[in-house]
Amino acid sequence: MFKINLEVPSSEVFLALRKKAGMGPRSIEGAEKGLGRELFSVLLEHVPTGEIVGM
């Protein structure tokens, strides 16, 4: 079961999800600069484990 959360990911979660998706690396400073400036943000949470599996 999954739950959609209306929130911005932490920079650590953002970078971890990028890596798992095979996307190029970003610096933590770059992630922190950009996060929170989007129009809309959601996180997909795997309820049994609490793990964020998508955004």
41-53: average pLDDT:
98
Whole-number pLDDT of residue 27? 96
23-50: average pLDDT:
95
∠ CA 24-47-51, nearest 5°, is 30
Whole-number pLDDT of residue 55? 95
Residue 3: pLDDT band by 50, 70, 90 thresholds?
Answer: very high
Whole-number pLDDT of residue 41? 96
Q: Which residue has the tokens 């989007």?
A: 38
Number of helical H runs and strand E runs in the chain: 2, 3
**C-alpha 31: how far from chain center:** 10
Give the whole-angstrom CA distance, residue 14 versus residue 12. 5
* Bridge partners, residue 55, by sequence: none
1-23: average pLDDT:
97
Q: Which fold has domain 2-54?
A: Aminopeptidase (3.40.630)
**C-alpha 5: how far from chain center:** 11
